[in-house]
């Protein structure tokens, strides 16, 4: 793709006393391979600048429509956010949290889009579909 995207993706995940920090870090890295989680005050934080691997997972799992819905539901200006369950993430599986946070806490993701705009970036990560297949531009 020739488009250039400028995004900052902030990732945070609580580490509960019953959890191993490295396993939570592994869950983050399974969906965001370029992340380098750092421990701060009982949680891990990381920043990345793309959602390419997450996009691949969404395509493989054929949940593009679900992802688009979650992204646009949680849009605020030039940013959107979503939460992912840690257990499935550890296996490289995208499972969005809806409603209340899970017992162990979720991986919270906030995407700030600088260029070009939120709609275009969402179309890049989770393109619109027809009959479950991405619509080619």
Digit-coded pLDDT (tens) for 32-52 = 999 999 999 999 999 999 999
Give the pLDDT confidence of 67-126 residue by residue, as tens digits.
999 999 999 999 999 999 999 999 999 999 987 767 768 999 999 999 889 999 999 999
User: Across the strands, what pairs with 128?
Assistant: none
Question: pTM score, two decimals?
Answer: 0.91
pLDDT for res 137: 59
C-alpha 136/C-alpha 127 separation (Å) is: 8
Which of 54, 53, 71 lies closest to 119 in space, CA to CA?
71
Q: Which class in CATH covers the domain with range 6-125?
A: alpha beta
- Cross-strand bridge partners of residue 115: 6
């Amino acid at each position: 793709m020739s488009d250039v995207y400028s995004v900052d993706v902030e990732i945070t995940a609580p580490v509960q006393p019953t959890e191993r920090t490295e396993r939570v870090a592994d869950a983050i890295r399974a969906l965001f391979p370029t992340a380098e989680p750092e421990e701060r005050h009982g949680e891990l934080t990381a920043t990345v600048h793309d959602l390419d691997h997450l996009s691949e997972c969404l395509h493989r799992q054929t949940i593009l429509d679900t992802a688009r819905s979650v992204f646009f539901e949680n849009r605020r200006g030039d940013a959107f956010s979503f939460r992912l369950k840690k257990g499935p993430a550890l296996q490289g599986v995208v499972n969005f949290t809806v409603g209340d946070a899970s017992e162990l806490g979720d991986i919270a993701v906030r995407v700030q889009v600088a260029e070009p705009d939120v709609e275009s970036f969402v179309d890049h990560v989770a393109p619109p579909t027809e009959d479950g297949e991405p619509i080619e531009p």
